[in-house]
Structure 1
């Protein structure tokens, strides 16, 4: 246990400082912050109180984390299916995920085609095994069936 454990205010201040340090670097999901702070042997109840305060002050937001993740991952050629799965595993609510995906205004079909071209070049696959390989690649990147079809349309 941290030395601040004897003084609840000092413990809460230490948790807040560490949480603010993490949030200053990048957005974090609530569950991610809880996990990182718990690794530092802080009291779980105090962690929850501090994160509630940060959320109330607008300093921590799962919705903002989802928006940042969608923007970042889509720039790397990751599709919406995989982004949704990764955000769910980070503990972000489905409603926040859906809003972030909808508001991103990304042409997922064009992104799928761009990811295919970047990996395999401009030439279309000449036979079924080559096309299947490219489709599996795009599926792993998180694109759905409609986006796969769009990536191979002429």
Structure 2
């Protein structure tokens, strides 16, 4: 059997999971020239097999429970998604508020409120790496820890 065509390669990638246009371009570029790759991706978009909007919404839906908006925004931008599509995906898919998501992430990782400055810094760093805003982190770590949650 010969080597698969660009179209077949694109279909294989898209059959596994949604890809952004930029990701698909990066994966197909070593196997054909730029015009061929662009034509194949344009055709996949026409057929509805590739959609940056659908990709962004699925990405946010899958990761919103673990990450803050700034991290989601940065990850999508890194994957070549347009800023307007990112904003639309965050608005439509993040049903919980940023504070509720941060609280859930914090409670899922740490069993108790910070007892000293070192533990406070540890929990703050954890939330910061997850992409939550510094003012939200300060607010969460100052509020009383609710054991029932």
TM-score, length of structure 2 as denominator length: 0.86
Find 2:16's aligned residue among 13, 17, 25. 25
> What is the CA distance between 1:108 and its match in structure 2?
2.0
User: Secondary structure at 2:27's aligned position in 1?
Assistant: helix
Give structure 1 stretches of 5+ with no counterpart.
Answer: 5-10
- The aligned residue for residue 53 of structure 1 is 43
CA distance in 2, matches of 1:63, 1:89: 15
Do residues 88 (structure 1) and 77 (structure 2) align? yes
Instruction: Pick which of 17-26 and 90-99 moved more.
Output: 17-26
8 Å CA contact 1:55–1:61 kept in 2: the answer is yes
Find 2:109's aligned residue among 119, 127, 132. 119
After TM superposition, what 4+ stretches of structure 1 lie above 4 angstroms from structure 2? Answer: none
Q: Deviations over 1:20-77 (max 9, x none)?
A: 11111111000100111123x21221000111111122211111111111111123x1
- The aligned residue for residue 128 of structure 1 is 117
8 Å CA contact 1:81–1:142 kept in 2: the answer is yes
Q: Deviations over 1:122-154 (max 9, x none)?
A: x21122221121111101011113432453323
Calculate the aligned-residue CA RMSD, in Å.
Answer: 1.8
Find 1:137's aligned residue among 100, 120, 126. 126
Give structure 2 stretches of 5+ with no counterpart.
Answer: 145-149
> What is the CA distance between 1:17 and its match in structure 2?
1.6
Aligned residues: 141
User: Secondary structure at 1:58's aligned position in 2?
Assistant: coil
TM-score, length of structure 1 as denominator length: 0.83
8 Å CA contact 1:109–1:150 kept in 2: the answer is no
